[in-house]
Amino acid sequence: MAAFDHHSAFLAHQPIPGVTFEHNDYVVVVTGEHAGNKGSLVNVYQLAPDPVYTLELESGHDVLVLQSEIERHGF
């Protein structure tokens, strides 16, 4: 049996248990090292215990952020 490919599922906007956000969601970092930065989610790096996303900042740099550190921006 093939292992679940969470990277492909994230890019295809398929539901992943425990993962709140989707590919290209525009978010703001509300706490942690990158607080105040905004950008788009480009990948889910790790699923548990707190999903970790690759966030492409408005500056063009990529950083890793925890799901608990971000919120959708503009909603």
Query: Which of 20-24, 44-48, 61-65 comes out lowest in average pLDDT?
Result: 44-48
Does residue 45 fall inside a structural domain?
Answer: yes
pLDDT level of residue 4 (50, 70, 90 thresholds): low
Cβ contacts of residue 69 below 8 Å, gap of 6+?
A: 29, 30, 31, 32, 34, 35
Question: Is 49 inside any structural domain?
Answer: yes
Q: What is the 8-class DSSP label of residue 4? A: P
Residue tagged 């906007």 (tokens): 13
* Number of domains within the chain: 1
* Domain region containing 51: 6-15+23-72
**Does 50 fall in a domain?**
yes
> Which tens digits make up the pLDDT trace of 39-55?
999 999 999 899 999 99
Q: What is the pTM of this model?
A: 0.90
The residues near 39 (Cβ < 8 Å, ≥ 6 apart) are 26, 27, 55, 56, 57, 58
